[in-house]
Amino acid sequence: MSSTESLEPALHELDQLQAQAAQAFESATTADAVEVARIEYLGQKQGRLKAAQERLKTLEPAVKRAYGQRFNGVKQALEIAFDAARSRVERRTTAAGGIDVTLPGVAPRLGHRHPLTQTADELIDIFGRFGFAVARGPEVEDVRHNFDALNIPPVHPARDPLDNFYLSEGTMLRSQTSTIQIRVMESQPPPVRVIAMGRVYRPDTVDATHSFMFHQVEGLMVDKGVTMADLKTVLRLFARSYLGEDVQIRFRPSFFPFTEPSVEVDMLWHGGDRWVEMGGAGMVDPNVFKAVGYEPEQVTGFAFGLGIERLCMRRHGIDDIRLLYQNDVRFLDQF
């Protein structure tokens, strides 16, 4: 075999090595990939450049020089390609704050609003269209706002410690959102058109339709000439908007110290086999107006207080109020 014949294929292999290594370093996009390419081509023990160097020893002296020169060029090109790849991936990770932006991201799990919050938001929306603004009040209340100003006399059974969460002599967790009626009327002259929403607390035994804490939406409208017909119209329109055109509601005569006359409002439950109370309502009692400095001879008004849980349950066909508090995502995911 002549020396030139063994030189040509050897040089060709060197060219191939250079081309493949350049391709490997160029296409490496992560530090790990650059390292894999480095080991394959520049590795001290089994790297392909090392193998090419070993081959020098097997060549005839006459061609060694030519091979050696080409080998040096290839070696230099590989080192440059490696350096370029390494600084390229380093730049990329530090530019992203040490994060490898080429890795696939972690998909965030998107939550959504709790069904009760959805209901509350929708109520604000519906009553907003009827011209009702939103008022707020504290959950820790004084007995004046929870009872006295609402015409509930000191000896009334509704004040019984067994039926309320008292915190001290004069303060308690509010048992109804009617407290906010008082707070609103104390802070502004008539006319009034507000709803108020929030938690109320009663030491009820927990069952499918009762809880020691639940939410109410309170409504209050005071103006010249407001009548019971306005109350019934507003509640009917509201029930149709929230529960659907085909919903049936009924008004039953009742008693509340702060309204006269008073009614209880029922809705035909999903399934249509029974009536469930959705709240109380009535015409604001003159004694309540007197307690807040309004003139009962000049204005009249209506008020209502509805249970938000029951509205939500009727709307979605939920049969157990406790499901709304357990925060089981298998349940919550359905809304």
DSSP string, 145-204: HHTGGGT--TT-GGG-GGGS-BSSSSEEE-S-TTHHHHHHHHHSPSPEEEEEEEEEE--P
Closer CB to ligand PHE, residue 42 or residue 239? Answer: 239
**Shortest gap between Cβ of 225 and ligand PHE (angstroms)?**
19
Sign, Cα dihedral of 26, 27, 28, 33: negative
DSSP string, 165-180: -BSSSSEEE-S-TTHH
Closer CB to ligand PHE, residue 85 or residue 281? Answer: 281
**Shortest gap between Cβ of 97 and ligand PHE (angstroms)?**
54
User: How far apart, in whole angstroms, are the C-alpha atoms of residue 174 and residue 145?
Assistant: 9
Closer CB to ligand PHE, residue 21 or residue 152? Answer: 152
Closer CB to ligand PHE, residue 190 or residue 305? Answer: 305
User: How far apart, in whole angstroms, are the C-alpha atoms of residue 60 and residue 10?
Assistant: 12
CB of 241 within 8 A of CB of 215?
A: no
Phi and psi at 110, nearest 5°, equal -85, 130
**Shortest gap between Cβ of 202 and ligand PHE (angstroms)?**
9
Closer CB to ligand PHE, residue 67 or residue 304? Answer: 304
CB of 49 within 8 A of CB of 74?
A: yes
Residues of this chain that interact with ligand PHE (CB under 6 A) are: 176, 178, 256, 259, 262, 279-282, 303-305
User: How far apart, in whole angstroms, are the C-alpha atoms of residue 320 and residue 215?
Assistant: 15
**Shortest gap between Cβ of 281 and ligand PHE (angstroms)?**
5
**Shortest gap between Cβ of 329 and ligand PHE (angstroms)?**
31
- Residue 104's SS3 state is coil
User: How far apart, in whole angstroms, are the C-alpha atoms of residue 310 and residue 280?
Assistant: 13
**Shortest gap between Cβ of 179 and ligand PHE (angstroms)?**
9
**Shortest gap between Cβ of 333 and ligand PHE (angstroms)?**
32
Residues in the annotated binding site? 260
- Residue 71's SS3 state is helix
- State how far Cα 210 lies from the chain centre: 26
Closer CB to ligand PHE, residue 28 or residue 263? Answer: 263
Closer CB to ligand PHE, residue 115 or residue 282? Answer: 282
Residues in the annotated binding site for Mg(2+)? 260
User: How far apart, in whole angstroms, are the C-alpha atoms of residue 174 and residue 137?
Assistant: 10
